[in-house]
Amino acid sequence: MKWIKLLLFISVFVLGVYSASMFFVEKFQSFKVEKVVDFPLDKVYAQFINPQNLSEWNVFTDNNDQLSYTYFSPYEGLGSSLKYINRKDSTERGDLFIRYVKPNQGIKYQLFKDKERKPYLIDVAFKALSDKQTQITWQVRTPSREFLERSLNLLYEENFNTRVGKSMANLHSVLMNKVDKEERLNALKFDTLMFERQSKQLLIGLNTSGNNKKGGDLYHSVSQDYHKLHAYLTKDLMKKEDEFGEIQVLYKVANLKNKELPYFIGSEMSKEQRLSDPNFSFREVKESYKIIAYYKGAYDARKSLIYKMIKEAETQKYTIGEISEMFLKPLDESGEVTLKISLEIYR
Measure the CA–CA gap between 288 and 175, rounded to whole angstroms: 33
Whole-number percent of the chain with pLDDT over 70: 88
Lowest mean pLDDT, pick from 9-13, 43-47, 149-153, 155-159: 9-13
> What CATH number has the domain bearing residue 69?
3.30.530.20
pLDDT of residue 149: 55
pLDDT of residue 66: 84
Banded model confidence at residue 159, pLDDT cuts 50, 70, 90: confident
Banded model confidence at residue 333, pLDDT cuts 50, 70, 90: confident
* Domain stop point among 118, 152, 183: 183
pLDDT of residue 21: 46
Banded model confidence at residue 17, pLDDT cuts 50, 70, 90: very low
Look up the domain containing 175 and give its range: 24-183
What is the total count of domains within the chain? 2
pLDDT of residue 178 exceeding 90? no
pLDDT of residue 200 exceeding 80? yes
Q: Indicate whether 118 and 211 sit together in one domain.
A: no
Q: What is the average pLDDT across 281-306?
A: 94
When the pLDDT of each residue in the chain is averaged and rounded to a whole number, the result is 86
pLDDT of residue 8: 55
Measure the CA–CA gap between 140 and 119, rounded to whole angstroms: 11
- Residue 247 · residue 210 · CB < 8 Å: no
Banded model confidence at residue 182, pLDDT cuts 50, 70, 90: confident
Q: Indicate whether 126 and 83 sit together in one domain.
A: yes
Q: Indicate whether 60 and 170 sit together in one domain.
A: yes
Nearest residue to 42 via CA among 134, 179, 137? 134
Banded model confidence at residue 214, pLDDT cuts 50, 70, 90: confident
Q: Indicate whether 118 and 244 sit together in one domain.
A: no
Q: Indicate whether 91 and 225 sit together in one domain.
A: no
Q: Indicate whether 170 and 233 sit together in one domain.
A: no
121 within a domain of the structure (yes/no): yes
- DSSP states of 92-142: SEEEEEEEEEETTTEEEEEEEETT-SSPEEEEEEEEEEETTEEEEEEEEEP
Structure confidence by residue, pLDDT tens digits, 28-69: 688 999 999 999 999 999 999 999 899 989 998 877 788 888
